[in-house]
Structure 1
């Protein structure tokens, strides 16, 4: 760049900056009133102190569970105050994040309710969710060991009369607003936009594996085949126990997950027999498999109702 081009560049930049719109406020007056009129002060604190029932209705979480989660994420979310402004406390960050997730409201609602900038709220909610996942995933959804698989299998044998079962797998569509420039990637067969949630549950209605974020157009079988769970099954790195004899027989069969007709049949994934005119043995098998598979469907129902 020669001297003439440099002068032109400086003049252009100076002119742009002079024409640029100046900020009317450093912090909007609505947000300045956060410490007096924000929902964190006027709503959360009174409920936390005096009304555990309405606290649960607000955040879909008991006070005991909230305090336990807050103790886990407090340190990663802690920020230092500066001369420019006071940092949001980890408690407040967790409260408006859980409120957003529990109510399904918009970021605009969070802005007016908690007196926090809309774009700031969006950034912080993503950060809090990521922090919750990183700090609790090993405790809430630990990597199963061979002993864990044996315990899960025993639970299905006792409660569903289905032996050698490692878990029930199913998918669910989570409705979303169509992402920009995404075409039909998120349009599912039910004709609304969604992302895929695939999960595996044990006989105690607890999730042992989740895969979230696939395109809405993908079928359950496609999501399962593209998941890390299937990759580990194929590489034999999931610590699955060796084939075990079925009760009352000398036939050893592999341990397997159970799914519905949308999944493909494999040595570690069972699905019901298709068709109407089935033999008695096949109908009994379908009945028991359906009894085992209902645990993941009920888990989705529990998740939706909470």
Structure 2
């Protein structure tokens, strides 16, 4: 029933006829299942550590490097994405906070990490639409998370890392493209090669909306009335599950030639327990 709801912006009245239930019961079932699932995955969806197990990291980096990336240690791509929402009904100051001046819409923002097997391995949020990607990276403590989960140690010459666009600041856990008017030929070559492979994260943003169009129907995404963040985040989870079943192959997985985990492996990673150092305050949805 929830998948039916998410797949398109259907009216509850139409679902009532389809499932032979009253409109109020349809809403209760959907809301209840959303709550159950989100509670079960609240740690694993922040960062699916099974995706980044030590024995997997070399394979992730090799898949990206083999497609022409100049950097041999990148295991995933990081970027922010926006979900358009209806204009908040609160006062002007609240509306201003949710408004994104670049896209000219009210929105929620999320930070995603996508691996070359086509899995969104981390999705943190929501944040208000006016926030910058680097701000979200800092506030979500992603640097500390990556250090912990990728087992970054000081004496490693070239540790595994993520790659993002120029909105992110360079660090030992996160690389981004070189900027400036006097770049060397090598810098330009690295930028070009990494831009080519980094597009995979945009493909996965598109996959969420391809399968679950309800999440992008902004007139139904009302803060305080519905749960836009829950809709988007669960849509991303269900997108991952579709890829894991192999019924609809991910464009990212096909491009890098790397099979996603089985559905059982993916779900077990989602349902992990809390890790020392994680805090309930990190859960933002």
- Whether the TM-score (by the shorter chain) exceeds 0.5 is yes
Structure with the bigger RCO (C-alpha within 8 Å, sep 6+) is: 2
**TM-score (normalizing by structure 2):** 0.61
Find the aligned partners of 1:193 and 1:118 in 2 and give their Cα distance.
Answer: 29
Task: Name which one, 1 or 2, has greater alpha-carbon Rg.
Answer: 1
How many residues are matched?
A: 203
> Does structure 1 retain, via aligned residues, the 8 Å contact 2:111–2:136?
yes
2:183 corresponds, among 278, 283, 304, to 278
Residue 11 of structure 1 corresponds to which residue in structure 2?
A: none
Find the aligned partners of 2:210 and 2:155 in 1 and give their Cα distance.
Answer: 37
Find the aligned partners of 2:185 and 2:86 in 1 and give their Cα distance.
Answer: 46
Per-residue CA distance 1:41-60 (angstroms, 9 max, x = gap):
xxxxxxxxxxxxxxxxxxxx
Residue 192 of structure 2 corresponds to which residue in structure 1?
A: 287
What pairs with 1:24-173 in structure 2 (closer than 5 Å)? 95=1, 97-107=2-12, 110=15, 114=19, 116-118=21-23, 120-135=25-40, 142-143=48-49, 144-161=52-69, 162-173=71-82
Find the aligned partners of 2:57 and 2:155 in 1 and give their Cα distance.
Answer: 12
Residue 19 of structure 1 corresponds to which residue in structure 2?
A: none
Is 1:238–2:149 an aligned residue pair?
A: yes
> Does structure 2 retain, via aligned residues, the 8 Å contact 1:201–1:296?
yes
Evaluate the alpha carbon distance shift between residue 117 and residue 178 of structure 1 in structure 2; reply closer, same or farther with a 3 A threshold. farther
RMSD: 2.9
Residue 122 of structure 2 corresponds to which residue in structure 1?
A: 209
Per-residue CA distance 1:76-100 (angstroms, 9 max, x = gap):
xxxxxxxxxxxxxxxxxxx2x2122
> Does structure 1 retain, via aligned residues, the 8 Å contact 2:16–2:26?
yes
Cα shift at 1:266: 1.6
Find the aligned partners of 1:297 and 1:119 in 2 and give their Cα distance.
Answer: 37
Find the aligned partners of 1:151 and 1:134 in 2 and give their Cα distance.
Answer: 31
> Does structure 2 retain, via aligned residues, the 8 Å contact 1:243–1:253?
no
Cα shift at 1:132: 3.2
Cα shift at 1:217: 1.1
> Does structure 1 retain, via aligned residues, the 8 Å contact 2:98–2:130?
yes
Residue 185 of structure 1 corresponds to which residue in structure 2?
A: 97
**SS of corresponding position for 1:278:** coil
Residue 261 of structure 1 corresponds to which residue in structure 2?
A: 166
Find the aligned partners of 2:169 and 2:100 in 1 and give their Cα distance.
Answer: 19
**TM-score (normalizing by structure 1):** 0.57
Cα shift at 1:184: 1.8
Evaluate the alpha carbon distance shift between residue 239 and residue 265 of structure 1 in structure 2; reply closer, same or farther with a 3 A threshold. closer
